[in-house]
Amino acid sequence: MHVHRRRFLVRSLAALGGAGLSGAFGSLRAFAAATSQQAFPPGDFKALVCIFLNGGNDSFNTIVPYSAQAYADYRSSRTVLMANGGLAFDQATLQANALVPRAPVAGLPGGPPSDGANYGMHPAMAGLRGLFNDGRAAIVGNVGTLLHPTSQAAYQAGTVAVPPQLFSHSDQTTTWQTSRPDDANANGWGGRIADLLHAANSGAIPMCISLSNNNLFQRGDTQDSYSIDPSGVEKLSYLGEGPESWVIGPNAAGIAAWQALVAEGAQAHLFERAFADSSRKAVDNYEVVDAALSGAPTLATSFPDTPLGRQLRMAAQLVQVRGALGMARQVFFASVGNYDTHSYQIDDQQANLAQLSGAITAFQAAMDELGTADRVTTFTASDFGRTLGVNGDGTDHGWGGHHLVVGGAVRGARFYGAMPSLRANGNPDDTGYGQVIPTTAVDQYAATLARWFGVDTAGIATILPNLGRFASADLGFMS
């Protein structure tokens, strides 16, 4: 059982009787952030929340057809029912967890699934299914990394270029997060959005905030990201307000020495400068965030005590204090692992998707509480989809997969893009080996979110230079 750090800090602070020692840094920056609250109209706020499912989610066992032909196709791939130790849902379970799509609106994308089938959602995801059926979540079918639109024939003949190192975790995670399969050195599309929009924020901390340590998605060409422990701000003990600062007492001379050692420009070696930069920025940023969070009332919404639940609770708290942080735009990154279900898929996916659904559902409730539900959009991403075929008790690395977009600004209760066949043999939509060829590019998925977020057409073209190769620059799932 993982017990998180905040509790440890609270306990240790209590142990020292709440000794109030003045911080070494940040008072000026915290002051600047606090006074910038009026610098932008409160209505002009938007946030994107990327939830990365590490390992490659088996979306073909997450959103599953139950109408006759499509279900028969599914069962030709997933031949053994769960009751018999296999991976396949029975039809009744799927029907009992049915997704109820809304009719299309004339002239706009989105509606019932493209294949005309009925779909259910994994029974562990009751909360997300409710959000879908309420019109606050949408499904984008068969998204994946692409260089150009391609087909089975083109793939098998090798006539259309595809992203390098398909089916490799590290490479496909990179490509999903950069959407630049043609540029191995590209930064992330979340970070590149921040490059364009950073002037929207007046505060001191980066637009991109990670709840899950360093990631490529939030790395910009010019803009940095900030990572925060989901359990809360921890300060450096040596600087006076950390967990064990009391043991050394007043330490002004020590603080001065530390500051001198990490001061900008004091290091001769390139890596030393980078280390000093990390040290300074961590402190500067935590002072600003701590000042903002400590003034905020507690959220009434309770979150599941899971890794993702804790991450999204912190994201909600940072949405709550966006004014104090001087932020009109926020890009969050959360991630959870154990999606690489080569084995034990039934148990692991059940736990994974329950965690995902519970955390997102709580997050939406918190956004309702804060009145920001229409202003915050959450979306999933993952290394790749998984194979239609099985290897016994799991599945292998695939390519395209379905994804979820959640929020009040989402044109929900609709499917977007094309739903692929799940047939084992003679499947027109796979590589020939059960790996489904994406029909919607990550570029299109990203562009749709970026447009809603406020990036203009010219900006989108710079972030996603390959977008023009695909049929639509806007999938229409955002209002």
Partner 1 sequence: MAMRIDPCRAARALAAIVFMLTGAVASAQPQSARPDPLLAHGFERADAGPATDAAAARFLAQATFGPTLEDIAHLRAVGYAAWIDEQLALPASTQVPYLDWVTTLPSQPDGNNHVTDATRLEIWAINALGTPDPSRGNVRPRDALRQRVAFALSEIFVVSNKNGTLAYQPWALASWYDMLATNAFGSYRTLLEDVTLHPAMGIYLSHIQNQKADPTRNIRPDENYAREVMQLFSVGLVQLAADGTPVLAGGQPVPTYDQATVRGFAAVFTGWNWNNTGCGPGSYTCCTVQTYTNCGPYDYNVPAWKLPMQPIEPFHDTTSSKQLLAYPGSTLPGGVLAAGGNARAELAAALDNLSQHPNVGPFIARRLIQRLVTSNPSPAYIGRVAAVFANDGQGTRGNLGAVVRAVLLDAEARFGQWNDTARFGKLREPLVRTTHLWRAMNAASTGGRIDTINPYPPIEDWYGQGPLRSPSVFNFFRPDFRRHGEIAAAGLYSPEFQILSDTMAVGTPNRLFSLAFCWHSDGESCWTNGRGATLYLDTARDATLAASDPDALLARYDLLFLSGQMSPFMRATLRTRLVAITGANRGRQRVQHALYLILNSPEYAIQK
Closer to partner 1 by Cβ: residue 134 or 272: 272
Q: Are 175 and 187 in contact (CB under 8 A)?
A: no
Q: Which x/- pattern over 227-246 shows residues binding partner 1 (rule: CB under 8 A)?
A: xxx----xxxxx---xxx--
The residue assigned the tokens 């002004």 is: 252
| 3 state DSSP class of 406 | strand
Closer to partner 1 by Cβ: residue 197 or 228: 228
Cα 250 from Cα 234, distance rounded (Å): 19
Closest CA to 71 of 135, 119, 6, 18: 119
Q: CB of 331: closest distance to partner 1 in angstroms?
A: 15
Site for partner 1 in 295-334 (CB under 8 A): none
Closer to partner 1 by Cβ: residue 233 or 373: 233
Site for partner 1 in 339-368 (CB under 8 A): 340, 342-344, 348
Residue 72 binds to partner 1 (criterion: CB under 8 A): no
Alpha carbon dihedral 397, 398, 401, 403, in 10-degree steps, equals 20
Residue 411 binds to partner 1 (criterion: CB under 8 A): no
Residue 393 binds to partner 1 (criterion: CB under 8 A): yes
10 Å Cβ neighbour count for 133? 17
Residue 102 binds to partner 1 (criterion: CB under 8 A): no
DSSP designation for 370: H
Could you give the residue ranges of the DSSP H alpha helices within 37-109?
68-77, 91-96
Closer to partner 1 by Cβ: residue 202 or 267: 267
Q: CB of 133: closest distance to partner 1 in angstroms?
A: 32
| 3 state DSSP class of 332 | strand
Cα 207 from Cα 191, distance rounded (Å): 8
Q: CB of 442: closest distance to partner 1 in angstroms?
A: 20
Q: Are 349 and 61 in contact (CB under 8 A)?
A: yes
Cα 345 from Cα 352, distance rounded (Å): 10
Burial of 48 by CB count in 10 Å (0-12 exposed, 13-18 middle, 19+ buried)? buried
Count of residues engaged in binding partner 1, rule: CB under 8 A: 89
Residue 107 binds to partner 1 (criterion: CB under 8 A): no
Which pair of structure tokens corresponds to residue 424?
Answer: 């084992």
Q: Which of 4, 29, 102, 198: binder of partner 1 (CB under 8 A)?
A: 4
3 state SS for 166-183: CCCHHHHHHHHHHCCCCC
Say if strands 440-441 and 401-406 run parallel, antiparallel, or are unpaired.
Answer: unpaired
Q: Element (H or E) spanning 357, and its range? A: helix 345-370
Residue 150 binds to partner 1 (criterion: CB under 8 A): no
Q: CB of 161: closest distance to partner 1 in angstroms?
A: 10
Q: Which residues contact 270 (CB under 8 A, 6 or more apart)?
A: none
Residue 471 binds to partner 1 (criterion: CB under 8 A): no
Closer to partner 1 by Cβ: residue 120 or 240: 240
The residue assigned the tokens 């965690």 is: 355
Closest CA to 291 of 473, 31, 10: 31
Residue 391 binds to partner 1 (criterion: CB under 8 A): yes
Q: CB of 232: closest distance to partner 1 in angstroms?
A: 11
Site for partner 1 in 420-449 (CB under 8 A): 424, 431, 433-434
Residue 90 binds to partner 1 (criterion: CB under 8 A): no
Burial of 357 by CB count in 10 Å (0-12 exposed, 13-18 middle, 19+ buried)? buried
Closer to partner 1 by Cβ: residue 23 or 110: 23
Residue 226 binds to partner 1 (criterion: CB under 8 A): yes
Please give the C-alpha separations between residue 321 and each of 42, 116, 308, in angstroms, as whole numbers: 12, 44, 20
Cα 135 from Cα 409, distance rounded (Å): 10
Q: CB of 284: closest distance to partner 1 in angstroms?
A: 10
Start-to-end Cα distance in the chain: 41
Q: Which region, judged by CB under 8 A, interacts with partner 1, from 92-100, 369-377, 388-396, 449-457?
A: 388-396
Site for partner 1 in 12-51 (CB under 8 A): none
Closer to partner 1 by Cβ: residue 237 or 472: 237
Q: CB of 52: closest distance to partner 1 in angstroms?
A: 12
Site for partner 1 in 259-288 (CB under 8 A): 260-262, 265-279, 281-283, 285-286
Closer to partner 1 by Cβ: residue 227 or 440: 227
Site for partner 1 in 165-224 (CB under 8 A): 165-171, 185, 210, 213-214, 219, 224
Q: Which of 5, 29, 102, 198: binder of partner 1 (CB under 8 A)?
A: 5
Cα 431 from Cα 327, distance rounded (Å): 44
Closer to partner 1 by Cβ: residue 69 or 391: 391
Q: CB of 82: closest distance to partner 1 in angstroms?
A: 14
Residue 63 binds to partner 1 (criterion: CB under 8 A): no
Q: CB of 397: closest distance to partner 1 in angstroms?
A: 7
